[in-house]
A and B are shown apart, each in its own frame.
Chain A
């Protein structure tokens, strides 16, 4: 129940986009078509679900103060927390590389349409954000996995909803100055208003 709650909370209440504004760049840039947004969203869900527990292990057995105890008594006081950012990013980047290879093999069309944004998942702030939040909140490994999955799902929902809206927007008559990113920012704001429905629910 606890794990389920954490995933639900990460999806709707603490949504990566609307509550923390993380991962905005690809959210705004790759939301022109639902099919592409769907692919990228799935990739983000996958990467988040894998990297959060891997980073948890890393944090717990390598980086944290006293985490290296298993190597012997002399390592008991070693604190490698200063390596946290670089280690987390290395894990994320290698995971993204893996996803990229899988997508290229199985869906060349999606690979083509995602273009530069697929490798850029490596620097998608929501992924590093989830790992850092997981450390900050002292989750267990199961909770961390649930949190990563929930965050990814929230991001996925947000981006496909935005993509569907933007596809419909093709028929509208947006003022020239607002076309493209301008109106997308406005939509994001209005979506945030709607997503406030869940903020405040205590799980």
Chain B
């Protein structure tokens, strides 16, 4: 610590007003505050600030909450590789294979995103903010492990520049930045990100009867060709793969971080416990999806519509999106009543897109983006209703 302090103190004069590197002051300050709190203190008189819960700490909390998902994702990537090639692997092997696939994506996402961010900070002279720490972690977690790295880089640049910096940086974007990156790839390079993306690595031979189909792919086939989804799930080449509890724990193919509902709930516990994420949004997304599932059960027609509603909560990226993306305080509704409406509609739309729209197997990404667009409107009308109610109470 002493060494770091000396390093930063030694560099300080160069970055201060009149120093040689004055232009890069924002970069210096951004890095210094990762280890040391800002050394500005409140005055002796007037308002005193005891605990400065700043953006940095909030963002780091979210990153910590994502670590269970990341670690589980790394293990699962390796685990799925061994399952589909039919080879026995030890825990270390699985972690190694997983890390080999996941870490490069993580590095590319952080490196490219931070460079873009730094360029904007220096040119526009706004402080480096920590928003990207979360985005840079979210982007790899919503990508399939087989995604080409240049696509990750391209999507990250698009999301940071168009989705965030064009609006003035962290806290001013209208759509969730990580989801903008994913949506960009989804529409620009659909073949790498959708369909049977999840396979094994290298030249290994898959086991007999292997197929990369996910639960949602079975669902889409049930909706279009009238196949029996439950029978498909039970008859998967790897026995018990799409068992309810197995899907809850998340030992299934999918994007890196989103398979495990259990790990997402663990993350939700951290987020809600520290007061960073809104439990109202998380809860209402799940209940919206569940009620929509029940409604479809009542309508019936094909085996995807008749899928028991609680299955909808564990398949696909619903839990991941609900916990880490819908709760994004910037793009979500900001009024308390608004949060209920916002979350509920995300849940409803997710299941609706999943089941009814043949163009997309999963709906959580587009449902959150759609509600991001309408969040300011929800807020506007909630505030408006509030004003009207209070005006009525007022007497002159």
Interface residue ranges, A against B (CB under 8 Å): 34, 160-161, 164-165, 167-169, 171-175, 178, 183, 186-187, 189-191, 193-202
Contacts and interface: CB of A to CB of B under 8 A. Distances in A.
A33 to B, nearest CB: 10
27 contacts: A160-B377, A161-B376, A164-B374, A164-B379, A165-B376, A168-B376, A169-B172, A169-B174, A172-B167, A173-B168, A183-B167, A186-B162, A187-B174, A189-B162, A190-B180, A190-B373, A193-B180, A194-B175, A194-B373, A195-B373, A197-B357, A197-B369, A197-B370, A198-B357, A199-B359, A201-B356, A201-B358
B360 interface: yes
Contact of A200 (B169, B187, B357, B377): B357
Contacts of B162: 186, 189-190
A202 B358 contact: yes
A77 B275 CA distance: 75
Contacts of A168: 174, 376, 379
B103 interface: no
Interface string B161-199: 011001111001011000010011001000000000000
Q: Which 9 A-B pairs have the closest CB atoms?
A: A200-B359, A173-B168, A197-B366, A172-B172, A164-B376, A164-B377, A194-B369, A172-B168, A194-B370
A175 B357 contact: no
Interface residues of B, number: 34
Contacts of B372: 194
A169 B167 contact: yes
A85 B168 CA distance: 45
Contacts of A191: 373
A167 B380 contact: yes
Contact of B373 (A161, A167, A172, A186): A161
A168 B112 CA distance: 29
B367 interface: yes
B250 interface: no
Q: Is the interface of B mostly helix, strand, loop or mixed?
A: helix
B380 A197 contact: no
Q: Is the interface of A mostly helix, strand, loop or mixed?
A: helix
A183 B166 contact: yes
Given A175-B124, A183-B167, A193 B359 contact: no
Contacts of B168: 172-175
Contacts of B343: none
Contacts of A198: 353, 357
B175 to A, nearest CB: 5
Nearest to B359: A200
A178 B166 CA distance: 8
A160 B349 CA distance: 20
B136 interface: no
B126 A173 contact: yes
Contact of A161 (B166, B187, B367, B374): B374
Nearest to B165: A175
Contact of B349 (A183, A186, A189, A197): A197
Contacts of B377: 34, 160-161, 164-165
B360 A190 contact: no
Contacts of A174: 166-168
A174 B377 CA distance: 20
Most chain B C-beta atoms within 10 Å of own C-beta, residue among A169, A195, A197: A197
Contacts of A194: 175, 366, 369-370, 372-373
B320 to A, nearest CB: 18
Contacts of A190: 162-163, 174-175, 180, 373
B363 interface: yes
A5 to B, nearest CB: 12
Contact of A167 (B166, B359, B376): B376
Nearest to A162: B373
Interface in B358-396: 358-360, 363, 366-367, 369-370, 372-374, 376-377, 379-380
Contacts of A199: 359
A186 B166 contact: yes
A164 to B, nearest CB: 4
Contacts of A186: 162, 166
